[in-house]
Amino acid sequence: MLGKKRIINFVILFLIISIFISNIFCLAQQEEVSVFLDGNLLNTEVPPHINNGRIFLPARDIVEALGGRITWFPALKLLNIIMSDREVSVVMDVPEAEVNGKDITIENAPSIIQNRVMLPLEVISLLTDLEADLDKESNQLNINRKRPLITGIRNYTHPDKTRIVLDLSEKTAYNVLTLNDPERIVIDIDASISQLESEQKEVLIDNLLVSRVRTGQFNQDTVRVVADLKNMNEYDVFELSSPQRIVLDIYMSQEQAGSAAESSFPPEVREETLPETEAAAVKENDKYVVVIDPGHGGSQPGAIGPSGLKEKDVVLDIALKLKRILQNEGFSIYLTREKDVDVSLESRPLMALQKEADVFISIHINSVFQKGSPTAKGVETYVLNSRHTDASAKDVADRENKASEFYNSGDDILDIILGDLSESASIDFSLDLADMVQKRLVQQTGLGNRGVKQAPFIVLKGVNMAAVLVEVGFICNPNEEKLLKTSEFREKIAQALSQSVKDYLKNMPENI
Ligand SMILES: [Zn+2]
């Protein structure tokens, strides 16, 4: 048993020890760190520091240095950060973050220290892909961003425009400006060119509109792409996703199109720009071959809606309508099936190869079987690639591939169906077509836009032309099933598909 005095002694001793320990921690808490972002010292109003082995940085300084925008809601202690493709929200002292609408758990909560909002390194890594490395001896933290890369530059000369396409590893911010004397269009991209082949850094085009395209690392953060023009013409810059691209279109003026028809240009250029009568245009169209592939058929019903509507019947009707429209305009059209019969997945692209098709379009209706699936909705267009855009793209590919006898759900499916196709130009053609198909379908059907995606489909295997697979709505969704039942809605889909095929063929690059 302890006497009263001894207890008091113990309490005092305990207090002394705890004050001593907390002093040690205090020292540890105050340990300052110097931060280098992409090799440059980050200047901050309050110093970044290590707190119990965790690194905290002043929110505003680091976010602004990363090029993000910050909004602080003091009453809620909520911080909202917008970066180029990400939106992150955190609440002080709450170990959770919302990233692009999704809640995730974080180990270290942000907090207010010395009247400043401080973010743990963990939250900063949610804003941008980075590598961080702390040198414990010098207390120096190096944060290096994984820069978006420009992976390629392509150009196409169309009768009415020149298109320059910049391939990117991911979405990134860009700015456009024009300079004159000589006339130039400049695109500054927040990226690095380290992956660009040296012969791609200056590309000679020398057509009626553009002399050449040059690319260089303008400064540490920026790649500058310069199109040297013959004249300053109307132009358009926009981005496309999956994969990420920035596209510059430079348009031919009326006068240029007119003068191109005069004798000052070689005869082949004149022919391209000569106005055609409608009848001549229709006759022209028969040089284009389109193979239409209604999915499934016969013993393979495809997806089935809640009221029993079968994918195989809807897509056959759409395919027949599309055939009628395109045939009336003179195109050469073949269907992989015209009736409710079994057709193997492998023989479908074979037909497109045998007919030397310019366009191969496979028509399907989407469906998902997970809980809550009746609410899935919208249109998506696929092109073949070795990788899936996202998990749901894999589900769709798995489902549509099931009809193949070679199919198994393992990863070796990629070996079976890929070959070297993903490296060939048909991916670019297919992406161009897919963008047009997706845009027209969304416009004309009013269905939701699920975007252009890439996944390995057997039906698209070995096709060396523009080849896409469309999933026109969800048959599992009672609202979309109802629409798909009507001939009127199927006609809309066929019209959208025919329009996009025509858009594509009209602008098809002749040679790459
Ligand atoms: Zn299908």
First to last CA, the chain: 94
> Whose CA is closest to 392, among 459, 319, 451, 314?
451
Please give the average pLDDT of every successive group of 10 residues along the chain, which has 512 residues: 48 46 46 87 89 89 86 83 84 92 90 89 90 88 83 85 88 88 90 73 90 85 90 87 85 74 37 39 77 92 92 96 91 94 80 83 83 75 63 71 49 33 54 91 92 68 71 92 95 96 79 36
Query: What would the CATH number be for the domain defined by 29-145?
Result: 3.30.457.10
Ligand 1 center from residue 507 Cα (angstroms): 29
Burial environment of residue 403 by CB neighbours within 10 A (0 to 12, 13 to 18, 19 or more): buried
Kindly give the distance from the C-alpha atom of residue 491 to the centroid of ligand 1, in angstroms, as a whole number. 19
Q: Describe the strand order of the beta sheet including 289-294 as a list of residue ranges.
A: 332-335, 289-294, 359-366, 466-474, 379-384, 449-455
Residue 425: per-residue pLDDT: 36
The token pair that represents 480 in the structure block: 């979309």
Tokens representing 41 are 């010292």
Fold topology of 150-272: Immunoglobulin-like (2.60.40)
Q: How far is the C-alpha of 222 from the C-alpha of 230, rounded, in Å?
A: 25
140, 130 contact by CB (below 8 A): no
Domain boundaries, the chain: 29-145, 150-272, 276-506
What is the structure's pLDDT at 406? Answer: 43
Return the pLDDT at 369.
Answer: 64
CA–CA distance, 380 with 393 (Å, rounded to integer): 9
Instruction: Please give the Cα distance from 215 to 223 (Å, whole number).
Output: 7
Measured in angstroms, how far is the CA atom of residue 24 from the centroid of ligand 1?
66
Residue 368 CA, ligand 1 centroid: distance in Å: 11
- The reported pLDDT for the residue numbered 378 is 92
Measured CA to CA in angstroms, residue 73 lies from 42, 63, 70, 79 at distances of: 25, 16, 10, 6
CA–CA separation, 422 and 402 (whole Å): 22
* Cα 299 to middle of ligand 1, angstroms: 13
CA of 286 from ligand 1 middle (Å) equals 29
Q: CA–CA separation, 108 vs 282, rounded Å?
A: 66
pLDDT score for 109: 93
Q: Which of 165, 248, 259, 263 is nearest to 208 (CA)?
A: 259
> Residue 295 Cα, ligand 1 centroid: separation in angstroms?
5
Instruction: Give the distance (Å) from ligand 1 centre to CA of residue 411.
Output: 21
Q: What local confidence, expressed as pLDDT, does residue 227 receive? A: 95
Residue with structure tokens 């130009």?
Answer: 425
Neighbours of ion ligand 1 (CB under 5 A): 295, 302, 364, 400
CATH of 276-506, one of 3.60.15.10, 3.30.360.10, 3.30.420.40, 3.40.630.40: 3.40.630.40
- DSSP of 62-77, one letter per residue? HHHHTT-EEEEETTTT
Question: Distance between CA atoms of 172 and 187, rounded to whole angstroms?
Answer: 12
Residue 364 C-alpha to ligand 1 middle, in angstroms?
4
Per-residue confidence (pLDDT) for residue 426, from 0 to 100: 62
The DSSP element (H or E) to which 251 belongs, if any, is strand 245-251
> Can 338 be counted among the known catalytic residues?
no
Q: How far apart are CA 222 and CA 226, in angstroms?
A: 13
Residue of 471, 480, 481, 488 with catalytic role? 471
Give 363 Cα–ligand 1 centroid separation in angstroms. Answer: 7
Please, which residues bridge with residue 37 across strands?
Answer: 40, 143
* pLDDT at residue 74 in the model: 78
Distance 182 CA to ligand 1 centre (A): 53
For position 266, what pLDDT does the model report?
37
